[in-house]
Structure 1
């Protein structure tokens, strides 16, 4: 009877297990009854310990998960100081059900329970859950989590009152097609030669600088790349500007990026001024250029529209005064003002990691005055401003609205295009970063949940199909389809793993956008292993070695020790400073990984004159008497016999003879005897014999990134 009572709830493995006394006692196996008694005491102690831990976690309010003994199949979450209504909502029952359960769970108290009554005793909440047929787990109060998440992010301040607004310089964005003279125009306005320092003669970064005109007015210019790869940079420039100067070359007219710049300016809802450049070239037609612009909705004043078009020569500095006057007039009509006081607001134009000065970002101040010591947040990065530098390298103490400055002091580097907001303290900046990180994690969880649910649905579909097949066959288990070694298949698909390092965040973004356009994954997969801003580091080599990746260093250096180490580890590091050359290199790497295809190469051609039957031992075999008409015939090549329009034989030769000699080659206009490998095949006079061989054909990728 004692044994039967214990075996009802003690696990069999515990009953059968040998138990020994403490190390100080003599070591001999216990009797069966002693084993049962000891296991019973161990189980009781474990149950008491688990229950005490649950009560401690419940009373402390921490979200430690503790499951109750089996009281049902569904698990519900409970927390400290729940109300009757909260308990009803969790159990998905009405309040009357909870009232009835409380009569059994709380017999000693005289509490008059109502909907909003707080249940302070955690044991009563657990008993109600068990009575209702559920199991429980302890979680944190979801209402408190929602309250804690509110008002943690930094937000822009309300609009300033009219009396606080002061005039500010205009922000002008220069846009247009590549090689139409945008940077040359800006060099002429500020007497510099930036265009001579650019790789390949094209702009690959967005530049921001302030120009002081002869009239004493200041204008902030944004120089955007015209290359097709830098569409995101142009879009950021259009959104951060007041006026767009559309540069169109008089000899080329309206091109693809010109149309894109017009579209971006319209989306940003900013006025457009047209600068028709290169008028010093012979044979240019300014009127034709204006008509081309009119076809895309830009009607110039000369054609009866309202868009100012100024013919200029950036190289010869012709009519630049007229362009400046038009910009000043447009800015006066717009009456641009901003609040120089209060918290700073702005936008990140570009971000980079300098080997000497560290993390820095070019910020265009749009509101407030940025000073040294200010604490700002932008995207996933924040900074306590240590140094403010202008575009020409001069250090300033403050930056009023419409001033572009390079900010040093970033803890984490922001991304180009992030909004810059000033906060009160470093503590507040850390609070904003934690909140934004939690929001990103929640967004990632939502995306991951969708992928998990899709995978579960696929798995369930396969399981149901397998289950239906087993039921139809009347088996509990299905036999394996093959050996285990065959079931485990390695992925042998050719893959190019890429690691991108760039000088600035905008360049990395442009390269990643280009790689996103790759669409030939069925031939060769293109996988992005990692990317970053700044020079190549030892950690980059470790990642590249693990993934067998190619490191593309765009406009950044790789230290000599790392270059030597990369050669030892067979890690290719490819340096480029022009984006389309980098793309060409990626194309070559992809083409090198495409499986080689075989193509036919015609070696020669012969006509069948007559068929002979030749004794081969005791057998008669057919031999084709031929004359080589084109090229030559090779003994080890492949042959195809064409009769009329049909191919009647394809294969190899068994013998090639000239007169009575076995030869390897038959030249043009020579006669020969050919015996094919198939002894049953017979030729007919007039058949054409084509000699060919299979050669490896170079295969190139057909990927077109759009430029």
Structure 2
């Protein structure tokens, strides 16, 4: 989004907080400005706060190649306060002065050129795109093309939602009349007729389909090459066999691969979170999808994007989520009461957020909840086997270990492990724990006792009995979107 803004404008006003200084987002914006070769004016905001340090901000900007005029550079650094309105007129005058020095001009005549800043779906207006006019004069009735979308302009609105008849260069307006929702960042061009607009859109769609087909063909060729190499390896490994033996070996290998596929598919789908993403505008959806791409997967949990779009959560979204057993995440959108009731009836979770950080945090929590809990062992005590006895319990002969607790305690309700030469021979539960002739629940350090296991296993003097409890801890997805 920052890169798109840098390429769409003629002058960048870089806002830096005087108390926070240069942050990662500021560094990213500086890099986008350099890549777009657009001049910068720095507005150091929040200068009214007691902890504000505009001088420190200027020094930090030097480290990233932004040299202010007070340090001998050509970048204007202006301290402002958006809260109190301090120096805002000075910032406007600096912007106008820089525009005059750069001789920024545009031709109001000719065909319209511009860029789509944002797009959204409005209940009353339909598909709406916010655009900046860069050349020409945009009027009602103009036919526009942006990417694979086109429009015959029905209405124009300014930033205060007031109707306009026309908009000249540098003017930002909302355009109503799109057949399809254009993507943010698309180049806006005026064409002479609706027929011409349809031809342009059809040609662009055809080119995109051809590019996609080429990409799919490339993937198919790579897969075929892999299969061919695997087949050659199988033939070489069975070259010394007779043709009947070779045929049987290949048959067994194919059967093994076919048997593995369903289990792999089941394991993959067992911990997979299907997602449906809805946003208020196209740019928001783009930003969320970019963050989702930073999720590089987990050994036990995958994330699958089923559908994304602009607008409120609809019945179609709920039905899709039910079909794929997924969840719906909405950013700056709402869901009607009827949709919420439908989702509750179908068992679909709808998560609505207006802060992107909270949306990602909620997604991390849901991904983590799909993972099985981690089991850890907390050792409670150890006992050494001193002697082995055989006692009669009814008609059965039961081996009993005579032990002394070396540390901690033995609790009959917990789990136990038998060690011999540091090697685990058994894990399970006790069938009996006695002190002298009494059945006891716990035995402490230094106390002698007798115990028997839930399986027939011979003890040896010197064996170690370890008492432990199993602690369940939820797993947490390690995902850093890089905000």
TM-score by length of 1: 0.62
Question: Aligned pair in 2 of structure 1 residues 661, 628: CA closer, same or farther (>3 Å)?
Answer: farther
What is the aligned residue count? Answer: 469
User: How do 1:300-319 residues align onto structure 2 when only pairs under 5 Å count?
Assistant: 300-319=68-87
Give the alignment partner of residue 199 of structure 2, picking from 431, 444, 452. 431
2: CA distance between counterparts of 1:550 and 1:234? 29
The match for 1:705 is 481
Match of 2:175, SS state, is strand
Corresponding residue SS for 2:480: coil
Deviation at 1:642, TM superposition (A): 8.0
Deviation per residue, 1:129-155 (Å, 9 max, x gap): xxxxxxxxxxxxxxxxxxxxxxxxxxx
Q: Aligned-pair RMSD on alpha carbons?
A: 2.5
Q: Deviation per CA, 1:197-240, whole angstroms, max 9, x where unpaired?
A: xxxxxxxxxxxxxxxxxxxxxxxxxxxxxxxxxxxx11111111
State the secondary structure of the residue aligned to 1:695. strand
Structure-2 separation of matches of 1:706 and 1:487 = 37
Aligned equivalent of 1:478: 248
2:386 matches 1:611: yes
Report the CA distance between 1:349 and its aligned residue: 0.3
Contact 1:314 1:320 in 2 (8 A): yes
Structure 2 match to 1:441: 209
The match for 1:375 is 143
Q: What corresponds to 1:79 in structure 2? A: none
User: For residues 73-109 of structure 1, what are the alpha-carbon distances to aligned partners after superposition, in whole Å with 9 as ceiling and x for unaligned?
Assistant: xxxxxxxxxxxxxxxxxxxxxxxxxxxxxxxxxxxxx
Which stretch has the larger CA shift, 436-445 or 477-486? 477-486
Correspondent of 2:459 among 662, 665, 681: 681
In the alignment, the residues of structure 1 paired with residue 235 and residue 51 of structure 2 have an alpha-carbon distance, to the nearest angstrom, of 79
Partner of 2:158: 390
Give the 5 Å matches for 1:553-702: 553-602=330-379, 604-608=380-384, 611-617=386-392, 621=399, 623-627=401-405, 629-630=407-408, 632-641=410-419, 646=422, 650-652=426-428, 653-666=430-443, 671-676=448-453, 679-684=457-462, 689-702=465-478
Tell me the secondary structure at the aligned position of residue 262 of structure 2: coil
Deviation at 1:443, TM superposition (A): 0.5
Secondary structure of the structure 2 residue equivalent to 1:478: helix
Distance 1:295 1:485 in 2: 59
Shift of the 620–297 alpha-carbon distance from structure 1 to 2, 3 Å rule, reads closer
Which residue in 2 is equivalent to 1:535? 312
Which deviates more, 510-519 or 467-476? Answer: 467-476
| Distance of 1:297 and 1:429 partners within structure 2 | 44
Write the distance in 2 (CA, Å) between the matches of 1:498 and 1:484: 30
Map of 2:93 onto structure 1? 325
1:83-98 equivalences under 5 Å are none
Q: Which moved more, 1:494-503 or 1:514-523?
A: 514-523
Judged with a 3 Å threshold, the aligned counterparts in structure 2 of structure 1 residues 613 and 295 are, in CA distance, closer, same or farther, namely closer
Tell me, which stretches of 5 or more residues in structure 2 are unaligned?
A: none
Asked if structure 2 preserves the Cα contact closer than 8 Å seen for 1:605 and 1:688, the reply is no
Larger radius of gyration, structure 1 or 2? 1
Contact 1:380 1:413 in 2 (8 A): no
Cα distance, 1:538–1:620 mapped onto 2, change above 3 Å: closer
* Compared CA separation, residues 343 and 484, structure 1 to 2 (3 A): closer
| Higher relative strand content | 2
> 1:20-419 to 2 correspondence within 5 Å?
233-419=1-187
Superposed displacement of residue 688, structure 1: 6.3
Instruction: Flag the 1:640–1:520 CA change in 2: closer, same or farther, 3 A.
Output: farther
Q: After superposition, give the CA deviation of every residue in 1:611-667 in whole Å (9 maximum; x if it has no partner).
A: 244342397945233247435522551235587xx4575534453112212334335
Partner of 1:489: 262
Call closer, same or farther: CA 1:516–1:616 in 2, change over 3 Å. same
Residue 190 of structure 2: aligned partner: 422
CA contact (8 A) 1:349 1:364 kept: yes
Q: Distance in 2 between matches of 1:474 and 1:694?
A: 55
The answer for the alignment partner of 1:547 in structure 2 is 324
Q: How far apart are the structure 1 equivalents of 2:221 and 2:67?
A: 54
In the TM superposition, what whole-angstrom CA distance separates every residue of 1:306-344 from its partner, at most 9, and x where no partner exists?
221112222122222322221221121112111101110
Q: CA deviation at 1:548?
A: 2.1
Deviations 1:256-280 (A, max 9, x none): 1111111111111111111122222
Counterpart Cα distance in 1 of 2:320 and 2:150 = 27
Alpha-carbon deviation of 1:588? Answer: 1.2
- Per-residue Cα deviation, 1:163-198 (whole angstroms, up to 9, x for no partner): xxxxxxxxxxxxxxxxxxxxxxxxxxxxxxxxxxxx
Deviation per residue, 1:354-413 (Å, 9 max, x gap)? 122210000100000000000000001100000000010110000000000000000011
Structure 1 residue runs without a partner (length 5+): 1-232
The more displaced of 417-426 and 544-553 is 544-553
Deviates more, 1:555-564 or 1:660-669: 660-669
With normalisation by structure 2, the TM-score equals 0.90
Cα pair 2:278 2:329 within 8 Å, conserved: yes
- Deviations 1:506-556 (Å, cap 9, x if unpaired)? 000001000101112432111111111112223323332332221112221
Work out the CA distance in 1 between the residues paired with 2:324 and 2:346. 12
Distance 1:695 1:534 in 2: 45
**Match in the other structure for 2:291:** 514
Kindly report structure 1 stretches of 4+ aligned residues shifted beyond 6 Å: none
Paired with 1:582 and 1:554, the residues of 2 have a C-alpha distance of 8
